[in-house]
Amino acid sequence: MSYELIGITVLWFFLYGYLIVASIDFGAGFFAYYARVTKKDHIINQLISRYLSPVWEVTNVFFVFFFVGLVGFFPDTAYYYGQSLLIPGSIAIVLLAIRGSFYAFESYGSKDNAVYMFFYGATGLLIPASLSTALTISEGGFIEETANGVQLLYGELLTSPYSWSVVFLALVSVLYISAMFLTYYADRAGDKPALELVRKYALFWSSPTIIASLTTFIALSQQNLDHFQRALELWWVFGISVAFFMVAVFLIYIGRYYGLAFIAVMLQFLFAFFGYGASHLPYILRPYITLTSGVTHESMAIALIVAFIAGLCLLIPSLILLMRMFLFDAEYVKGKK
């Protein structure tokens, strides 16, 4: 395996990790606000904050990790994405900043502030929408290089059916993943009322998720036929993803094995995400950066891979410790510690 392929695989894994942990967080923010509006906040807010408080910072790091790693392995992305994404990128930073700090202010400082809750819920939907721009423009056709540097074509972006279907997919899958996770967590906590509520959310958001996946696929064929055809060659990967989707929804529907159901959700997105990523290659940003043209020098790539392996040796045991203490410690989840 060449080092640029190792590099992009590693980065893709981190983006996938971010997709899962951030979706739980973003969706939880929305559900917390929604529950407040519908006067059901007493049922699930305790549950959400018990999970989120110890892990919100870790969520953020997955994202930092991805973009720092991307610039490291593929320095050209800094130039093209940096030039073109100034506005959507800055808006995403501001939203992330408001969200992260307000979460801390809320949970460690003043309790139960309606304004905080609103921002927390709203940013949970706006952030996935603004971040998905970066994936959209990677398909090509949204930026142009002129003598004055690289420009993002806002008109193209805002009128493209593909870009809107990506935004829609991002939104519904955030809510779906989050509800699926909360269902599992509520079950662990033995919290019946919360379980009933989030289980309904999970079932509700499952159908838009699968519909949005299909529409995005169709829109892709309009936007970038090459990519669409490479995706069709990997049809079996997407098939496995759909199979896991059905397993997850079935388990939630019959109301048993919530842990397995969430693992099925993770596998559903793992296959879909890697299928999407693999068919995207060899382009990273079409047509300016390919896997081989944009890669950093060999010595740096090797140094990064070594650092990455050393870092994982440190991180994996720490993450396991974190999960054992707050995710899989039944006493903690139930609120007894």
Partner 1 sequence: MFELDGATISRMLTSMTLLFHAIFATVGVGVPVMVSIAEFIGIKKKDPHYTLLARRWTRGYTITVAVGVVTGTAIGLQLSLIWPSFMQLAGNVIALPLFMETFAFFFEAIFLGIYLYTWDRFKNPIYHWLLSIPVVIGGTLSAFFITTVNSFMNQPQGFEMENGTVTSIDPLAAMFNPATPTKVFHVISSSYLTSAAILAGIAAIFILWKKGSTYHKKALKLTVTFTFLFAILTAVAGDLSAKFLAEYQPEKLAAGEWHFETEEGADLIVFGTLNENNEVENAIRIPNALSFLAYGDFNAEVEGLEETPVDEQPPLWIHYMFDLMVSIGFYLLGISLLFLVFWKVKKWNENNRLLLTGIALAGPLSMLAVEFGWVYAEVGRQPWILRGFMTVTEGATTSPYVGWMFLLFLALYIVLGTGCIVVLRKMFKDNPAELELERLFPQVAATKEDDQS
DSSP-derived 3-state class of residue 268: helix
Q: Does 86 bind partner 1 (CB under 8 A)?
A: yes
CB of 160 to partner 1, least distance (A): 21
Q: Tokens 């979706």 — which residue?
A: 23
Interface residue with partner 1, options 9, 12, 98, 267 (CB under 8 A): 98
Q: Does 296 bind partner 1 (CB under 8 A)?
A: yes
Q: Does 46 bind partner 1 (CB under 8 A)?
A: no
User: How far, in whole angstroms, is CA 295 from its chain's centroid?
Assistant: 24
Q: Does 203 bind partner 1 (CB under 8 A)?
A: no
Q: Does 153 bind partner 1 (CB under 8 A)?
A: no
CB of 323 to partner 1, least distance (A): 10
CB of 1 to partner 1, least distance (A): 19
Q: Look up residue 113 and give its DSSP letter.
A: -
C-alpha–C-alpha distance, residues 216 and 196, integer Å: 31
Q: Which amino acid is at 58?
A: V
> Judged by CB under 8 A, which stretch of 32-40, 230-238, 240-248, 322-330 contacts partner 1?
322-330
> Judged by CB under 8 A, which stretch of 16-24, 162-170, 261-269, 293-301 contacts partner 1?
293-301
Residue 285: phi, psi to the nearest 5? -135, 105
Q: Does 327 bind partner 1 (CB under 8 A)?
A: no
Q: Does 53 bind partner 1 (CB under 8 A)?
A: yes
Nearer to partner 1, 254 or 299 (CB): 299
Q: Does 336 bind partner 1 (CB under 8 A)?
A: no
Q: Does 225 bind partner 1 (CB under 8 A)?
A: no
Interface residue with partner 1, options 38, 112, 149, 218 (CB under 8 A): 149
Number of residues that bind partner 1 (CB under 8 A): 69
C-alpha–C-alpha distance, residues 181 and 220, integer Å: 29
C-alpha–C-alpha distance, residues 257 and 251, integer Å: 6
Q: Does 311 bind partner 1 (CB under 8 A)?
A: yes
Q: Does 16 bind partner 1 (CB under 8 A)?
A: no
Q: Does 61 bind partner 1 (CB under 8 A)?
A: yes
Give per-residue burial for 17-44: e unless 16+ CB within 10 Å, then b: bbbbbbbbbbbbbbbbbbbbeeeebebb
CB of 247 to partner 1, least distance (A): 31
Bond into 208 cis (ω within 30): no
Nearer to partner 1, 210 or 315 (CB): 315
Is residue 51 within 8 Å of residue 185, measured between CB atoms? yes
Interface residue with partner 1, options 96, 126, 212, 265 (CB under 8 A): 96
Interface residue with partner 1, options 16, 18, 103, 201 (CB under 8 A): 103
**Dihedral angle sign, alpha carbons of residues 205, 28, 65, 287:** positive
Contacts of 128 (CB under 8 A, 6+ apart): 22, 23, 26, 167, 170, 171, 174
Contacts of 192 (CB under 8 A, 6+ apart): none
Interface residue with partner 1, options 58, 153, 240, 263 (CB under 8 A): 58
Q: Look up residue 327 and give its DSSP letter.
A: T
Residue 151: phi, psi to the nearest 5? -125, 145
Q: Look up residue 121 and give its DSSP letter.
A: H
Give the interface with partner 1 as residue ranges (CB under 8 A): 53-55, 57-58, 60-61, 63-65, 67-69, 71-83, 85-87, 89-94, 96-98, 100-105, 108-110, 148-151, 296-297, 299-300, 303-304, 307-308, 311, 314-315, 318-319, 321-322, 325-326, 337
